[in-house]
């Protein structure tokens, strides 16, 4: 079942909100690298993740269907006086196929439009 409103999930049924996106390209391989930033994760708040299944992949759903992609890395960045306040989460995706990149970009355009995000060059 395709979703009219684009969603992002680490855990089944728990939608997350992307805070920022960085698109890069590995000069050596040509692979495209996507860095998704999440300022908070719904799955962590109130331990919701214990009631849902972890999919081991990021699930992106929109009107075209579902994209399932396993992150090449996920970093939890903490801050605060005790070092236990979640600052943000960095999720890295590597996309090596052109058709997968095109599909990902169609998803991101829909997600950005639905969530008031806009494209900008670094430093803008």
Asked whether the predicted pLDDT for residue 124 surpasses 60, the reply is: no
Q: What is the 3-state secondary structure (H, E, C) of the chain?
A: CCCCCCEEEEECCEEECCCEEEEEECCCCCCEEEEEEECCCCCCHHHHHHHCCEEEEEEEEECCEEEEECCCEEEEEEECCCCCEEEEEEEEEEECCHHHHHHHHHHHHHHHHHHCCCCCCCCC
63-89 per-position pLDDT tens digit: 999 999 999 998 989 998 988 888 999
Q: What is the mean pLDDT of residues 79-107?
A: 93
Average pLDDT, the chain: 88
Question: 49 vs 32, which has greater pLDDT?
Answer: 32
Say which CATH superfamily domain 7-115 falls into. Photosystem II Psb28 (2.40.30.220)
Indicate the pTM of the whole model.
Answer: 0.82
Q: Per-domain residue ranges for the chain? A: 7-115
């Amino acid at each position: 079942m395709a979703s009219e409103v684009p969603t992002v999930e680490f855990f089944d049924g728990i939608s997350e909100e992307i805070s920022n996106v960085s698109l890069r390209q590995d000069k050596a391989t040509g692979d495209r690298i996507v860095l998704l930033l999440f300022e908070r994760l719904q799955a962590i708040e109130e331990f919701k993740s214990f009631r849902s299944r972890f999919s081991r992949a990021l699930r992106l759903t929109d009107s075209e269907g579902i994209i399932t992609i396993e992150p090449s890395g996920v970093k939890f960045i903490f801050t605060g006086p005790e070092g236990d306040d979640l600052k943000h989460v960095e999720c890295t995706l590597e996309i090596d196929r052109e058709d997968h990149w095109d599909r990902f970009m169609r998803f991101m355009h829909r997600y950005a439009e639905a969530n008031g995000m806009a494209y900008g060059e670094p430093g803008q």
